[in-house]
Amino acid sequence: QVCSINSRFAKVHILYVGSTPLKSTFRGTIRREDIRATEKDKVEVYKSFRPGDIVLAKVISLGDAQSNYLLSTAENELGVVAARSEAGVQMVPISWCEMQCPQTHTKDFRKVARVQPQFLQT
């Protein structure tokens, strides 16, 4: 779950490993260059994630003392799987880079995950 974002990275709390819920949360960081596999220099963090988003990511290294785990969403299957709009409604993905609020019809940029069927249990 995304906690905070800035221009260089997104700070997250790791809640699950696979389908196993963790007893305590672990901190992780998704760096700007690890968000997308292509055009890494053009990625903008605030167009990929927002605080509160649920993200499917892969651990790429243990990182350092401040950031703990380094995560990546640089695959089509990885990215935002659940997001809430400003109206508090669950958003619906409409493309690989946009989600829409079904209530207000406002569109927000996100790095949307192309979720595989085996991960669709909620």
Across the chain, mean pLDDT equals 87
**Residue 42 belongs to what domain range?**
2-119
- Inform me whether the pLDDT recorded for 116 exceeds 70: no
Here the CATH number for the domain that contains residue 108 is: 2.40.50.140
Instruction: Tell me the per-residue pLDDT of 27-66, one tens digit each, with 9 for 90 and over.
Output: 999 999 999 888 878 889 999 999 999 999 999 988 666 6
Q: Between vectors from CA 116 to CA 110 and to CA 121, what angle results, nearest 5°? A: 95
Counted domains in the chain:
1
Can you give the pTM of this predicted structure?
A: 0.86
- Inform me whether the pLDDT recorded for 117 exceeds 70: no
d(CA 91, CA 95): 12
The beta strands (E) that lie in the chain are given as 2-5, 9-17, 20-31, 54-56, 58-61, 69-72, 79-82, 92-95, 98-100, 107-109
